[in-house]
Amino acid sequence: MRVAIDTTDRVILNQLQHDGRITNAALAEKVHLSPSACLRRVRRLEQANVINGYTTLVNRAAIGRSTTVFVEVSLTGQQEDLLAEFEREVGNCPEVMSCHLMAGIADYVLYVVADDVEDYERIHRTHLSRLPGVAQIRSSFSLRAVCEKTAHELS
């Protein structure tokens, strides 16, 4: 459900996306509100699920997960129970960062991180190929990220 947000809400969201650790007082100053009014707006955005949470972005290379693989998965069928089982199980693989149900040739596209090619082979063998209903897996290795965004610029 789409939530109505005004210009002040947009400024708050842009600020929080760029610095989720900003204090309420500093945020209030940037958006020209009193701290209590600013906090009420942030709480309203949280309660309306416009803000889903706060997180820390980790440098994958710094923790040894520098290999990015996009994996197209085709299933043996389209039965609702098979899709539900696949979706339930794919979340149990810690290296799968996101999974998207697709329209097109592949049923799903996964964003997977690995230490290196050998580590991806392990992930493929021990996790991906064992997911329910998998008929085909096509893997594409990213050479480098050209653009990565985590913030939705609101204007």
CB 67 within 8 A of CB 102: no
Q: Assess if residue 52 is contained within a domain.
A: no
Helix (H), strand (E) at residue 68: strand 67-75
Q: Do residue 42 and residue 66 come from a single domain?
A: no
Q: Do residue 42 and residue 69 come from a single domain?
A: no
| CATH code (residue 35) | 1.10.10.10
Q: Going residue by residue through the chain (155 aa), what tens digit of pLDDT does each one get?
A: 788 999 999 999 999 999 999 999 999 999 999 999 999 999 999 999 999 999 999 999 999 999 999 999 999 999 999 999 999 999 999 999 999 999 999 999 999 999 999 999 999 999 999 999 999 999 999 999 999 999 999 88
Q: Assess if residue 133 is contained within a domain.
A: yes
* pTM: predicted TM-score of the whole model, two decimal places: 0.86
